[in-house]
Structure 1
Amino acid sequence: MKHLLNLLAAIALLVWGMHLVRTGVLRVFGANLRAWLARSLGNRFTAALSGIGVTALVQSSTATALMTASFVGQGLISLPAALAVMRGADIGTALMAVLLSFDLSWLSPMFIFVGVVLFITRQASTAGRVGRIFIGLGLMLLALERIVQASDPMLASPVTAVVLEALGKDLLAEILIGAVLAIISYSSLAVVLLIAAMAASQVVPVDMALGLVLGANVGNGLAAVLTLAGADTEVKQVTVGNLLFKLLGVAVMAPFVGLWLRLVQPHMPGVGHGVVLFHLAYNVIISVGFIGLTQWVARLIARLLPKPARLPGQRPHHLDPSALSTPSLAMSLAVREALTQADVVENMLTGVMEVIRRNDESLAMRLREMDDEVDSLYSAIKYYLTKIPRDDLGEKESRRWADIISFTINMEQIGDIIERIVQDVEEKKISKGVEFSEAGMAEISDLHARLVNNLRLSMGVFLDGTVRDAQRLLEEKGHFRALERTYAANHLARLAERATQSMETSSLHIDLLSDLRRINSLISATAYPILEQAGALPSGRERAVGHEGGLPKV
């Protein structure tokens, strides 16, 4: 039992080391890797090469699959190009397995020591994240050494002999076991290295090791499918297409396992090297040999998983789960989604004027539905941001995190105010058959036009964060407040003159001016974090975020 626990602990250490390397690389280089991958998708051959490079660094073809699938989901690349990337990703994983199969245990103490020093002394910086990568590499090498040590006593155990005899020569059972191991560990690389180490220690015979390797490749594809089972159809098409390639590869390679054992394995420098080179040969054959089938497989997958027709108002989401391990990248995606939310708010703001002018009740109903979409986007963005590892955020990233939350809250509140305006217009204007006076309507239209322009300026400030635009937005807030007070006074003057239309719409008119002022205050709030960070935030009343001036007293 002790030897089994030692082996399980060594396997867990190997998986944890790979996790540290993968998350460390993504947090340091994630945005650059993603950009490089996106630039290399011009044709399927460069796409495959980029898949090799990215996966060799990340040490996880599943992580590459998640990034590539997100590109397809956002409509940035085609499905055949994504499948070509995955052909290269499998080769990248196999190459890393070959490299790590050599005896590099002497590097383990150095990697762990340097990594811990960097991580402790510079934890919040890039150097600290590089230290995390070194720690992961050191733990992986240490784990491989421990696996070999823990496997030796198990070889002499009679239980081992019974288990191996029960499995016999059942290749299908070996493939199934390898697949299960890959799904549980979430890493075919870890499983292949484990199998190679156990084969080198003669815990498993070579023929069984090769069957387990085939299963590990299938399990890797299944893990990606299960991970993204709830994703959009475009994303699932990538993982299912990749799994189909792996199944085709197993069907092609399984009959040649015996040929490999007779002709190739005797010339290998060691049993473990033979296992990882078989893994490499499998992936090279299915990647190079099948890359011409990407178009055919893409068409087949498109028929098996057709894209659903998009309903009106539906929008593609930018929130990519695979980017969560790279905080800067995840927040840039959250910014894009926040701007999508702001676009919906702008459409609502534009539409509300049409409801006021034309008494359009069908448009009023659509605006209320759009408010539900704004609320849904706010919830999705908020939930996404809460899943970003806050411990890895620097000071600048923490501020940006708070700015995104604040912006989306303000957009959600603006949507609620617009919905309330629509309800007021329906109850106080459309149902009663009254109209604003010509002068009152002109004033409301002027405020509304300024409001739309301020919202667009606010979106630019949120995206680019320039101090000049933030100052301009705050200046516009002052102009808007002064203008709103003037128009409120004009309305009161019309009431004093007993103007019939002004008297009939007075309650709605006053409420509408107040609501437009509140919306403008929420829009202007985008400027405060930028100006505060630059030390250019005015003092006094202008500094009060969301301050609203009152209507003149009657």
Structure 2
Amino acid sequence: MDGTIVLINLLGGVALLLWGLRMVSTGVMRAFGRELGVFLKFCLRNRFQSFFGGLTVTMLLQSSTATALLTASFAGRGLLPATAGIAIILGADVGTTLVAQILSFDLSFLAPVFLFLGFVRHATANTTRAKNLGRILLGLGMMLSALAMLATASEPIRDSSVSQYVLTSLSGEPVLVVLLAAVITIIAHSSLATVLFALSLSLTGHFPIDVAYAMVLGANIGGAVPPIMATLKAEKAARRAPLANLICRLIIVVATIPFIAVIEPQLAAFEPSPARQIVNLHTLVNLACAVVFLPFVGPLGRLTERLLPEEDEANENSPQPLYLDKAALESPQLAMANAVRETLRMGDVLEKMCRCLRQILDGANGQNFRQVRDNHAVIKDFDGAIKAYLTKLGRESLDEQDEYRCTEILNFTTAIDHISNIVVMNMVELVETAQKNQVAISDEDVEDEFRLLDMVLVNLRMSFSVLMTADATTASRLIERKQTFRVAERKAVNEHLQRLRSDQMLDQEASAIHLSLLSDMRRINSLLSSGAYLVAGQKEK
């Protein structure tokens, strides 16, 4: 067979394998992602429960990367410590080896069954979860078909003098093969795919077993890198467990490389089949990693805290989004956690705007006007970035509850954007006009403006809490504060009108500006509490 055809068949088989893995992983995440998250949080009582929790979830997801991202999402929100996250990922590493153990057997006869059942389930399903069950079955069928395809496509390699020369030249160069396999795994985002590819090549009977062993070791290093890449812009807490996993794997792989020649006859004596030796080595490496490092997750956690200390204040004050990492879109939960983080930073900018507005009402200079307008531009950038980021998740990647959460975040960013427009285009313009025209607002009116603006700032901070916790009690309190604000605003308006009636000398232009400012604050307060009605289960009034 022509070498080009062989290469195309191999690439096609690898692509089908990767796509099948992705379909299974995303199907399980979309159908049961929330339940898996609850299960992981349930497994946090001790390191052993965390380990077996990570193992179980990874066997379902067939991707240690997906489990690592799910773990990072919880760590980033402060829901689990670094020690528990490390134990979960160590379990995930072992879980992916057990999947490889299962797939090392000839299950190709199940491929058409899974494909047919998956198609029927997906085509006839009426619910999102049922469709994703079909997606899982289709993914399993694709994976088994890909393995059979790779085995067939790699058969001509044993008759090719060129391929034999290349493979023979790689024999005895474990460090080079480890590095190459690590790079391949990083590109594929799957250590399981690399191990299964090595397994397929071993079926030719002419694939040097030491090269296959080195590929397995390289796959274990490369498999630890994608979670780190996916959380590069996430909070430091989310990045610690993936970093510890890479450190553990590096130590085990470096310690194993010199002993490949010693390990080979031992595994051959246990299992003469090269394919079984490959998956057994993969399992042993990760079991060794768990046995060696599980007792030391505490020191590992402290080490990662030193390597990745908490964000400094300078970064937090950056006017640009920091956490909207595109790689995290693979995990909707992590992506939405990132979006919430940026939304809260966007809210902090709005709070600064409102405090600058208070200084402007008190007669501040032009620098405060510029600062408000600069913050308005920052909010516009945040709003556009967050909306674009969440839009990339797509409706198909979210279950009903996640889609509802995504809508909550988008509604909140839209409210902040509208409030920013009101502050800049209405309130600041009014005050600036008043100062230019030397319009004097009475002390009583200024005091009312200050009191109502302070109430708005309190409600703004409470709206942050509603967004973060989705707590119905907090949402109800915010709604109550909205009504309290309305009462205070009506009282301020009535008292101003009474002063206006009793004193004909009051400036009519100052009166119009004051009433417009109070009206704008009422609109701002309504926007802040709009999301609370959904959380509290009430109808907006």
Contact between 1:56 and 1:95, CA under 8 Å: does it hold in 2?
A: yes
Question: Quick one: structure 1 residues 291 and 393, their matched pair in 2 at CA, closer, same or farther if it must change by over 3 Å?
Answer: closer
**Residue in 2 that maps onto 1:310:** 313
Q: Which residue of 1 is the match for residue 6 of structure 2? A: 3
Q: 2:246 aligns with which of 220, 243, 247?
A: 243
AA aligned opposite 2:21: M
Matched residues in 1 for 2:44 and 2:497: separation? 61
Kept after mapping to 2: 8 A contact 1:474/1:527:
no
Q: Secondary structure at the match of 2:106?
A: coil
Shift of residue 279, structure 1, vs aligned partner? 0.7
Q: Secondary structure at the match of 2:172?
A: coil
Structure-2 change in CA distance of 1:484 and 1:420 (3 Å): farther
Q: Is the 8 A contact 2:69 2:334 kept in 1?
A: no
Which residue of structure 2 lines up, in the alignment, with residue 113 of structure 1? 116
Look up the match of 1:78. 81
Q: Which amino acid aligns with 2:423?
A: I
Amino acid across the alignment from 1:405 = L
Distance in 2, matches of 1:370 and 1:36, equals 42
2:392 corresponds to 1:387? yes
Alpha-carbon distance in 1 for matches of 2:226, 2:461: 43
- In 1, are the aligned partners of 2:434 and 2:440 still within 8 Å (CA)? yes
- Is the Cα contact below 8 Å between 2:356 and 2:372 reproduced in 1? yes
Shift of residue 418 of structure 1? 2.9
Cα gap change, 1:341/1:307 in structure 2, threshold over 3 Å: closer, same or farther? closer
Q: Following TM superposition, by how much is the alpha carbon of 1:446 offset from its aligned partner in structure 2, in angstroms? A: 5.8
Under a length normalisation based on structure 1, what TM-score does the superposition of the two structures give?
A: 0.81
Contact 2:20 2:141 in 1 (8 A): yes
- Paired residue for 1:68? 71
State the shift of 1:105 in Å: 1.7
Corresponding residue number in structure 2 for 1:219: 222
Q: How many residues align?
A: 533
- The residue that corresponds to 1:522 in the other structure is 527
Matched, 1:288 2:296: no
Q: 1:103 aligns to what SS in structure 2?
A: coil
- In 2, Cα distance between the equivalents of 1:335 and 1:138? 37
Spell out the pairing of 1:67-466 with structure 2 (5 A cutoff): 67-122=70-125, 124-268=127-271, 270-311=273-314, 314=317, 324-325=329-330, 327=332, 334=339, 338=343, 341-342=346-347, 345=350, 349=354, 352-353=357-358, 356=361, 371=376, 374-392=379-397, 401-402=406-407, 404-419=409-424, 423=428, 427=432, 436-441=441-446, 443-445=448-450, 447-448=452-453, 451=456, 463=470
Secondary structure at the aligned position of 1:264 is classed as helix
Moved more, 103-112 or 226-235: 226-235
TM-score by length of 2: 0.82
Q: CA deviation at 1:190?
A: 0.9
Q: Closer, same or farther in 2 for the Cα pair 1:400/1:72, shift >3 Å? A: closer
Q: Distance in 1 between matches of 2:208 and 2:486?
A: 79
Equivalent pair of 1:69/1:238 in contact (CA under 8 Å):
yes
Segment of structure 1 superposing worse, 291-300 or 21-30: 291-300
Larger displacement relative to structure 2 (340-349 or 464-473): 464-473
Q: CA deviation at 1:484?
A: 7.4
Residue 493 (1) aligns with residue 496 (2): no
Contact 2:231 2:328 survives alignment (8 Å): no
Alpha-carbon offset, residue 222 of structure 1: 2.9
Which secondary structure does the structure 1 equivalent of 2:205 belong to?
coil
Task: Kindly state the Cα deviation for residue 405 of structure 1 after the two structures are TM-superposed.
Answer: 2.5
Name the counterpart of 1:551: none
Contact 1:97–1:193 (8 Å) recurs in 2: yes
- Partners of 1:425 and 1:362 lie apart in 2 by 16
Quick one: distance in 2 between partners of 1:81 and 1:360?
52
Choose which of 43, 59, 62 in structure 2 pairs with 1:59: 62
Shift of 1:278: 0.7
Q: Which letter maps to 2:520?
A: D
The alpha-carbon distance between structure 1 residues 84 and 106, as it changes in their structure 2 partners (threshold 3 A), is: same
- Alpha-carbon distance, 1:217 to partner: 0.9
Specify whether residues 405 and 263 from structure 1 end up closer, same or farther in structure 2 by C-alpha distance, changes over 3 A only: closer
C-alpha distance in structure 2 between counterparts of 1:458 and 1:74, whole Å: 18
Give the superposition deviation at 1:161: 1.4
Q: Distance in 2 between matches of 1:23 and 1:398?
A: 15
Which is further off, 502-511 or 78-87? 502-511
CA contact (8 A) 2:471 2:535 kept: no
Describe the SS at the equivalent of 1:519.
Answer: helix
Q: Distance in 1 between matches of 2:472 and 2:303?
A: 46
- State the SS of the aligned residue for 1:77: coil
Report which stretch shifted further, 399-408 or 61-70: 399-408
Alpha-carbon contact 1:49-1:88 (below 8 Å) kept: yes
- Is 1:20 paired with 2:23? yes
8 Å Cα contact 1:268-1:274 kept in structure 2 = yes
Unaligned segments of structure 2, at least 5 residues: none
For 1:548, the equivalent position in structure 2 comes to none
1:97/1:189 contact within 8 Å kept = yes
Alignment check: 8 A CA contact 1:178 1:215 kept: yes
- Which residue of 14, 31, 35 maps to 2:34? 31
Provide the rounded CA distance (Å) in 2 between the counterparts of 1:295 and 1:306: 16
Q: Please say if residues 319 and 381 of structure 1, whose CA atoms lie closer than 8 Å, have aligned partners that are also in contact.
A: yes
Aligned counterparts of 2:230 and 2:342: Cα–Cα separation in 1: 22
1:346 and 1:455 mapped to 2: Cα distance?
A: 8
Identity of aligned residues (%): 35
25-34 vs 362-371, greater mean Cα deviation: 362-371
